[in-house]
Structure 1
């Protein structure tokens, strides 16, 4: 099996709210929409973010864990500069996200976080190291 990721699927409680955040708020363009079921956004050359209605997700995949705290996963968006990090976090805030301001990190970069309407956390980072630069378009 190739080391590759094709889709990231988020099971969302309110598909309309998720669409409003990602499409209306962040300005991302849907590549495919099935009303009431799924919204898919091409987020990389070979990568799609799929926002899938929770009930439809559970019908196919099975029950999801519920409880306090955030999901034990983060998504990440890397930027070329610290200023781009601040701008991206500000855009997420304007779209309605809960935002944690970016700070200098011990690993040599600069990052902050935002949470989408379902609480999925996104790291927005400037990573000056080789791996951080490798993921930039």
Structure 2
């Protein structure tokens, strides 16, 4: 059976804060809202699940310590450079951090933000 990503799980330091960021701030639709677990639908792709950081580490059987670049970023492809700028504006209003401002390139436009737990997201649009 070929590998398929059906859910992206993020370990978060503050579940309520992460829920507000992705739900209220970025408009993701809550699919499940349980004590210690929240999941969102992401518009036809994999779902996004949030677990408390310590619980996620325990579930995976690994130590909870970790910082800096985690070796992964999520990418959100939008229709235009204007949409890239709007997403980054929405992110700052929701409590995220702009890591790299949107820049134009010959192929299009892109920028990076991090959520309140430091997960990196690239927002990009082709020219």
Q: Same fold (TM over 0.5)?
A: yes
CA distance in 2, matches of 1:27, 1:43: 10
Q: Secondary structure at the match of 1:20?
A: helix
Quick check: 2:84–2:125 contact (8 Å CA) kept in 1? yes
Quick check: 2:113–2:122 contact (8 Å CA) kept in 1? yes
Figure out how many residues of one structure are paired with residues of the other and give that number: 126
Tell me which residue corresponds to 2:23: 23
Structure 1, residues 98-134: CA drift from partner, whole Å, max 9, x if none?
112111236x121001100100010000034xxxxxx
CA distance in 2, matches of 1:13, 1:74: 18
Q: CA RMSD of the aligned region, Å?
A: 1.7
Post-superposition, which runs of at least 4 consecutive aligned residues in structure 1 deviate over 4 A?
none
Structure 2: gaps of 5 or more residues = none
Q: Shift in Å at residue 59 of structure 1?
A: 2.2
Structure 1: gaps of 5 or more residues = 129-137
CA distance in 1, matches of 2:67, 2:123: 24
